[in-house]
């Protein structure tokens, strides 16, 4: 998947008159391989372990560039952090379950929920352009933990 993503980024950069760099390719590879929602800080922590010469500003700018290229989607959850999610071309719409204790994020797809949302919009004369569903609670691991505030 990283090779396909790298080719997609190179194509976008060329179209924008920007250069493809090895630092951007390394950041993209780590981002894609993470397979989860990451903040710039979390991605930087991962990058620093394998490529210590890449700075935080480069990671941050690359995430913004990936979002502009349509390869990453910015997500702002209730905790106030902006996280980025790798956006595959074959990935359909999904929603999120977010643990308020450990901050785990679980993606899910449900056709009935999607249809219901469309029905609600249509019944109210509303044309949906985009939407997000976030459900906050405790994951199964955190449900068993005692005496720790959510």
Domain that holds residue 102: 95-143
Domain count, the chain: 2
Q: Is residue 150 part of a domain?
A: no
Task: Check whether residue 106 and residue 132 sit in a common domain.
Answer: yes
Characterize 85-110 residue by residue with b for buried, 16 or more Cβ atoms within 10 angstroms of its Cβ, and e for exposed.
Answer: bbeeeeeeeebbbbbeeeeebeeeee
Mean pLDDT confidence for 17-29: 92
Same domain, 56 and 33: yes
77 and 11 within one domain: yes
pTM: 0.69
In the three-class reduction of DSSP (H, G, I as helix; E, B as strand; rest coil), residue 72 is classed as strand
* Sequential DSSP letters for 73-142: EEEE-TTS-EEEEE--TT----EEEEETTT--EEEE--HHHHHHHHHHHHHTT---S----EEEE--HHH
pLDDT tens digits along 64-111: 999 999 899 888 877 778 889 888 655 567 888 989 898 888 888 888
Answer whether residue 136 is part of any domain. Answer: yes
- Taking alpha carbons only, the member of 148, 150, 30, 40 closest to residue 98 is 150
pLDDT of residue 98: 87
**106 and 68 together in one domain:** no
Q: Are residues 8 and 55 in the same domain?
A: yes
For residue 129, what is the enclosing H or E element? Answer: none
CATH of the domain at 121: 3.30.1490.190
The reply to whether 52 and 7 lie within a common domain is: yes
Same domain, 56 and 100: no
Q: Any residues with CB less than 8 A from the CB of 99 and at least 6 apart, and which?
A: 105, 137, 138, 139, 142
């Amino acid at each position: 998947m990283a090779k396909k993503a790298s080719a997609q980024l190179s194509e976008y950069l060329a179209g924008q008159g920007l250069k493809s760099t090895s630092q951007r390719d390394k950041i993209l590879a780590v981002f894609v391989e993470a397979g989860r929602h990451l903040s710039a800080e979390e991605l930087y922590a991962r990058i620093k372990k394998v490529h210590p010469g890449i700075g935080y500003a480069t990671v941050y700018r690359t995430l913004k560039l990936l979002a502009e290229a349509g390869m990453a989607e910015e997500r702002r959850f209730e905790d106030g952090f902006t996280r980025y999610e790798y956006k595959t071309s074959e990935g359909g719409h999904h929603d999120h379950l977010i643990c308020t204790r450990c901050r785990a994020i679980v993606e899910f797809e449900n056709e009935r929920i999607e249809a219901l949302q469309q029905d609600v919009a249509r019944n109210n004369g509303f044309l949906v352009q985009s939407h997000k569903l976030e459900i906050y609670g405790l994951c199964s691991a955190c449900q068993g933990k005692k005496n720790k505030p959510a």
